[in-house]
Structure 1
Amino acid sequence: MDFAPNPDHIALRAAVGAIADKYGGGYYARHAEAREPTTELWRDLGEHGFIGINLPEEYGGGGANLAELKVVCEETAAHGTPLLLLLVSSAITGEVIAKYGSPQQKRTWLPRLATGEAKIVFAITEPNAGSNTHRLTTTATRDGDGYVLRGEKYFISGVDEADAILVVAKTGGDRDRAELSLFIVDADAAGLEKQPLPVSVTLPERQFTLHFDDVHVDADRLIGTEGDGFTQVFQGLNPERITGAALCVGIGRYMLDKAAAYAGSRIVWDKPIGTHQGVSHALAKAKIEVELAALMTAQAAWLHDRGEPAGEASNMAKYAAAEAALAAADAAIQCHGGNGVTTEFGLLPYWGLARLLRIAPVNREMILNFVAQHSLGLPRSY
């Protein structure tokens, strides 16, 4: 890796930051409290080419890499407007369709994903499977010239904003070794029931439970070859972890910027509270942890973009960044005292998102399992 400042990334950060600043933390907090999508910001970023920056130029994308999408995720968050669906529509589904989609699928979806006109969310999680992908029970059964989907998905983000859903379904195998395939399913498909899933975290993006009751999809909605779903899923999961880490880094930076400004101006006993080490050391420690996570995230994106094995680095970056973001958010709220939980200062939505990202898209315990097994060579624990 080259640690010298990248002029293109500097310009990209400035351009994305300028757009995000037009909306800012107040805009994000209001939409989070109301559970309303940040549609105006998404469209603005799309019109400037940032939503699809990692998608192929021939389909209207920016032709850049995951490293650049990472910058977009981080910078929007660092300016107070984290966009959870960048992890889903741009990182997972965009990368999967660009690599494995048919020419028709690419022509149909990639130009609209690139401009932000369309969103495709991702449905893999199920109530009874947890992190055990082999135990997925949603099935796709051959039916004439297509497939019929039956089953249930859980905690699916942004379905109300989506044009389609990239669904992971079982097309063969046994109970413990499922053979999986991926399908693009219209969000308004007949037989698809979408139930809002109430969550207490204040986010613009809503969560849903999906019921597939004999949902028919044509054969041309299958991604690639039937049964190749595991390979395809992992093409999307590392980008999801990397962009999730970038979002966390941006949240950490935003919260620390807010805390530093407050600590420098809040006067108690004739001094700014930032002069007290009980305040300053907590913020300094959080700053160090966020910057360490930023380096790990950059390394993971660098490896992915060069086709190198990136699973270990992606998981470690996501772990480190989520821990750092949550610590930074907690330190910033503590620095503000009672003001840290007021609507006026608008900090709690970022704490909630950071706390969510400690669980999803993969929880810290499963990352620790991965590192124990694959990095340390310890016996598998599950």
Structure 2
Amino acid sequence: MDFTETDEERDLRAAVGAIAGRFGGDYYVQHAREGKPTDELWRAMGDAGFVGVNVAEEYGGGGGGLVELATVCEESAAHGTPLLLLLVSAAISAEVIGEFGSDELRRCWLPGLADGSVKMVFAITEPEAGSNTHHLTTTATRSGDDWVLRGTKHYISGVDEAEALLVVARTGRDERGNASLSLFVVPTDAPGLVKTPLPVDVIAPEKQHVLHFDDVTVPSGSLVGEEGAGFRQVFRGLNPERITGAAIAVGIARYALDKAAEYARTRQVWDVPIGAHQGVSHPLAKAKIETELAALMTRKAAWLHDRGLPAGEESNMAKYAAAEAALAAIDAAIQTHGGNGLSSEYGLLPYWGLARLLRVAPVNREMILNHVAQHGLGLPRSY
């Protein structure tokens, strides 16, 4: 095994850091508090080719994989500017359309996803289904050459910023009576699509929405791949989402630890820097170790995915470890700052909220533990 980065990977990390560093934490926190999208940062990343680093070159992308996209996610977050929509636009939508979409869908959507001029978000979650996709109730039915979508989606991120949705809908039932799912690309301005903001207390630029599909009609070409193949397509997108979510969490942890270490080196009480005291230094050192371990698992999961190898358990483990590491790092950073850790001037709390969100979404830690217990340890299914 070779754990050294290639020259290309180092160059990518440095280039992403240079762009994100021009904006920095103050820019992100200001936009998060005002609920404003980080459009300027997204455009800068897109113009440099980093938003679509995993899109095939023939569609204007970088021709890389999840290793490269995870690097973009981690490094931008490590400079204080996490980009959550990379999880759904680049990691899910671009990956799914790139592998399963028709030539027409690829030509229509991938160039915009590659240069950042288009965002496509993912619509799967429903209020009554939770993590059980078999219970999805949003339907898509044929009407001549079209499909008509009816139903409700919940907690859909970034709809107000996106040009299109990648929607998971039930198109029938299989022989066991479970939902047969299909994926559709639906423009966000489609007639009959009602978007309602869903208030949350997380301080972030990205907003959440409830979506109502009231006889939303799309042409037959909006179907991604084969009818009824949605389960396979969804899981092809979920591993990249978990890997990139882990990468963002690792980046958040790095950012928090850098801020805390700088404060601990310079803040003096009783004539010595507070970082000289083990009560301050040890929690930061522990968080650093946990962050590095999470980064290793994230890189392994991305490496496996890019080679077409099974990566489900590793992707889940990476997401679990990284979310825990990010929370521990931010908590240690806040504690290091004392009262200043809660001060608006130091801007740490928005990152705590984001890390806490990543502990719940895109899959919560309990479902990850279920997955590892069942598939990694061979224990009986608990749900």
What TM bracket, shorter-length normalisation?
Answer: over 0.9
Aligned to 1:304: 305
Aligned to 2:120: 120
| 1:204 pairs with 2:205 | yes
What letter matches 1:230 in structure 2? F
Say if 1:171 and 1:227, in contact at 8 Å, map to a contact too: yes
User: Counterparts in 2 of 1:58-73, with a 5 A limit?
Assistant: 58-73=58-73
d(CA) in 1 for partners of 2:56 and 2:336? 44
SS at match of 1:380: coil
Aligned to 1:187: 188
Aligned to 2:376: 375
What letter matches 1:322 in structure 2? A
d(CA) in 1 for partners of 2:144 and 2:30? 48
Q: Structure 1: 5+ residue runs without aligned partners?
A: none
Can you list the C-alpha shifts for 1:99-135, whole angstroms capped at 9, x where unaligned?
Answer: 0010010001000000000000000000000000100
User: Counterparts in 2 of 1:12-161, with a 5 A limit?
Assistant: 12-161=12-161
Say if 1:135 and 1:176, in contact at 8 Å, map to a contact too: no
Query: What TM-score comes out, normalization by structure 2 length?
Result: 0.99
Say if 1:263 and 1:335, in contact at 8 Å, map to a contact too: yes
What letter matches 2:51 in structure 1? I
d(CA) in 2 for partners of 1:196 and 1:263? 40
Identity %: 71
Say if 1:171 and 1:180, in contact at 8 Å, map to a contact too: yes
User: Counterparts in 2 of 1:276-295, with a 5 A limit?
Assistant: 276-295=277-296
How big is the shift at 1:176? Answer: 5.8
How big is the shift at 1:16? Answer: 0.2
SS at match of 1:361: coil
How big is the shift at 1:5? Answer: 2.8
Say if 1:316 and 1:367, in contact at 8 Å, map to a contact too: yes
What letter matches 2:243 in structure 1? I
Aligned to 1:322: 323
d(CA) in 2 for partners of 1:9 and 1:133? 36
Can you list the C-alpha shifts for 1:35-67, whole angstroms capped at 9, x where unaligned?
Answer: 110000000000000000000000000001110
Runs of 4+ in 1 over 4 A off after TM superposition: none
How big is the shift at 1:4? Answer: 2.0
Can you list the C-alpha shifts for 1:202-229, whole angstroms capped at 9, x where unaligned?
Answer: 0000000000011001100000010000
SS at match of 2:185: strand
Number of aligned residues: 382
d(CA) in 2 for partners of 1:348 and 1:232? 36
Can you list the C-alpha shifts for 1:165-184, whole angstroms capped at 9, x where unaligned?
Answer: 00000001179611000000
d(CA) in 2 for partners of 1:361 and 1:269? 45
d(CA) in 2 for partners of 1:180 and 1:35? 34
d(CA) in 1 for partners of 2:332 and 2:179? 44
How big is the shift at 1:328? Answer: 0.4
d(CA) in 2 for partners of 1:339 and 1:199? 25
Q: CA RMSD, aligned part only?
A: 0.8
Query: Closer, same or farther in 2 for the Cα pair 1:309/1:44, shift >3 Å?
Result: same
Say if 1:134 and 1:176, in contact at 8 Å, map to a contact too: no
Aligned to 1:333: 334
d(CA) in 2 for partners of 1:85 and 1:45? 12
Say if 1:140 and 1:170, in contact at 8 Å, map to a contact too: yes
d(CA) in 2 for partners of 1:278 and 1:357? 27
Query: What TM-score comes out, normalization by structure 1 length?
Result: 0.99
d(CA) in 2 for partners of 1:342 and 1:156? 30
What letter matches 2:148 in structure 1? V
d(CA) in 2 for partners of 1:26 and 1:10? 25
Can you list the C-alpha shifts for 1:219-262, whole angstroms capped at 9, x where unaligned?
Answer: 00000010000000011000000000000000000000000000
SS at match of 1:256: helix
